[in-house]
Every structure is written in C-alpha cells, then in structure tokens.
Copies of this chain bind each other. A is one copy, B any other.
Amino acid sequence: MSELSARSGVAIPTIKYYLREGLLHPGEQVAATRAEYDDSHLRRLRLIRAMVEVGRLPIAAVKKVVTAIEDESLPFHQLLGTAHYALSPQVEPEPTPEWEAAKAEVDALIADLGWQVAPGAPARNDLTQTVARMRRLGMGDAIRTYAETAERLVREVELDTIPVGGDRDAAVEALVLGTVLYGRALEALRRLAQESESARRFRGDGFSPAP
C-alpha cells in the first residue's frame, strides 16, 4: 500500500478513505494483513484525483461514476453519459413563471439548433436557471450566439478527446479531463480577454491589479 501511495502521490490515509467509501476496489488479499495492489488501482486513483482536483466533483458524484464503471453490464456509451452528467451542477427546477419561461426558451433553442439532447440532461436545468437569472437582469439576448459558438468548439475540437473504446477507467478519465480542461481554459481566456478589452476601451492600463 505504501508503494501504491508513493506511486500515485496520494496519502495512505486517503487511500484507506477511498477504499472505505468504495471508490477504490480492494486489493487482492494475500494474507490477513496484506493485500496486493496493481495498475488498475493506480489508474483508478488517477481517475479519482482527476475528478476531485481538476473537475472539483464531490465524492458522491465520483462514486456514481465509479459505480457505473464497475457495472460491466452498462454499455460503454451509457458509462460515458453517466460520467458526463456527473460533471454538470445539479440544479433543481423552481416552480415559478420565470423558470417556465426560461425553460421554454431553452427548449426552443435546442430544438431550433437541431440538437439531440435527452430530456433529463442536467445541463438543461443548469442553463434554464442561468437564462432565468439573465432575463431578470435584462441580459441574455446573445444566448444563440453562445450556443453556436459552443457547437463549433465541440465539433471542431472537443469531441476528439472523447474516446470510443478501450479501458473503461481510461476512457472516463479522458472524457472528464477533456471536458473540464477545455472548459477551464475557455473560462480563463474569457477573463483575460475581458481585462484586455476593458483596457482597450476604457483606458490604457486595464484593470489595474490589486496591490
């Protein structure tokens, strides 16, 4: 176990915790107080750390994904779907008129673009809530532009990072890391562009950094 810890960079008590939580399958018992861990444990540990550190998923979401990986009867594309859904913030619908209006708008947009999205996809609720908030503030006329932009990026770049075959852990890891890292990069780039464009428009020195 200390070897697993050393190789993965994860502390022993943390490994024990993951074992307890069922995120990591037990090692092969070789004696009452000894178990063997192999590459599958190393890979799983890498996947867990990727989801927790990079993706900032709560342990409960990680557990869902792990359960899906271990359910060998679950087809590959459903496994990827489970992982993908675990990445979205879970937003509860609110029974308000604003929500319904935003939901109608989101549904119309998806239909209009010809997107094929399951009715229960969590990103639908996430987007609905965001659109509702935007509307309340008088923003959000550019949603369609954003949708087209997202479609282009996904088509041209991101989908290539989603693997179609091979090892289940590795595939999920690639999906999670691809989705999260491109998202994070885009976010950072938006902020840099905002600072720069703000500098260009309002004065020569941008957002002056805080001291």
Spell out A's residues near B (CB within 8 Å). Answer: 54, 64, 68, 75, 77-78, 80-82, 84-85, 87-88, 110, 115-118, 120-121, 123-124, 126-127, 130-131, 133-134, 137, 139-140, 142-143, 145-147, 149-159, 161-162, 164, 174, 177-179, 181-203, 205-210
Per the bound structure, the CA–CA distance linking A146 and B124 in Å amounts to: 23
> Chain B contacts of A81 at CB under 8 A?
195, 206-210
CB-based contact A185/B77 at 8 Å? no
Which chain B residue has the least Cβ–Cβ distance from A145?
B157
Per the bound structure, the CA–CA distance linking A159 and B142 in Å amounts to: 12
> Chain B contacts of A184 at CB under 8 A?
126, 130
CB-based contact B127/A156 at 8 Å? no
Q: What is the minimal beta-carbon distance from A137 to any residue of chain B, in angstroms? A: 6
Which chain B residue has the least Cβ–Cβ distance from A119?
B209
Per the bound structure, the CA–CA distance linking A124 and B161 in Å amounts to: 24
> Chain B contacts of A147 at CB under 8 A?
189, 192-193
CB-based contact A153/B158 at 8 Å? no
Number of copies: 2
Which chain B residue has the least Cβ–Cβ distance from A143?
B185
Per the bound structure, the CA–CA distance linking A188 and B38 in Å amounts to: 37
CB-based contact A118/B156 at 8 Å? no
Per the bound structure, the CA–CA distance linking A172 and B184 in Å amounts to: 23
CB-based contact B118/A207 at 8 Å? yes
CB-based contact B194/A154 at 8 Å? yes
Q: What is the minimal beta-carbon distance from A51 to any residue of chain B, in angstroms? A: 13
CB-based contact A77/B191 at 8 Å? no
**Given A190-B158, A192-B127, CB of A164 within 8 Å of CB of B202:** yes
CB-based contact B84/A127 at 8 Å? no
> Chain B contacts of A142 at CB under 8 A?
156-157
CB-based contact B197/A190 at 8 Å? no
CB-based contact A84/B191 at 8 Å? yes
> Chain B contacts of A181 at CB under 8 A?
130, 133-134, 137, 139-140
